[in-house]
Amino acid sequence: MRKLQGTELKDYFKDPDGITSWWRPEEGNFQFWHQQELKILDKYFPISGSPLVFDAACGQARFGRYFASNGCRVHCLDINPKMLETASARAQEAGLADRIEFFEGDVETFLNTAVSYDVVSCMDALEHMTDLDLAVRNLTGMIKKGGHFI
């Protein structure tokens, strides 16, 4: 197996039949580890009020649904339209569709200057960015003063 980089990497994550064919963090062998991530958030990141959260590279919106179920309003972004379909369906099934909005886009090129967020999260994805500095600048540029980056 060779390491994908640059446009090959982006194309892989955009491909409706690529990562969507195997990425199932809420099922299977790695389910335990993914549940631990949510427990860590519960312990170290208590949520009060109804903060506005931006969940970047959301995949199936596991973290977006977590935040929405804890009273947050959530904007979820992913590069893969099929992942967003799955994310939207899962939000609907969980009764959270009214708290989550979905957007298709690339973390490295998506610029949202119109909205500032209390929390910006990008879980399990930064290691896949072609230009990590640019991705982090884009994400942290959306955070309100006193906000959080996870």
pLDDT of residue 1: 53
pLDDT of residue 24: 67
- Average pLDDT estimate for 8-21: 62
pLDDT digits (tens, 9 = 90+) for 81-105: 999 999 999 999 999 999 999 999 9
Element (H, E) at 145: strand 143-149
Alpha helices in 94-143 (DSSP H): 132-140
Shortest CA distance to 116 belongs to which of 87, 146, 91?
Answer: 146
What is the Cα–Cα distance from 104 to 17, expressed in whole angstroms? 16
pLDDT digits (tens, 9 = 90+) for 25-38: 677 777 777 889 89
Q: How confident is the model at residue 12 (pLDDT cuts 50, 70, 90)?
A: low
Flag whether the pTM goes above 0.75: yes
pLDDT of residue 7: 66
Beta-bridged to residue 143, according to DSSP, are 117
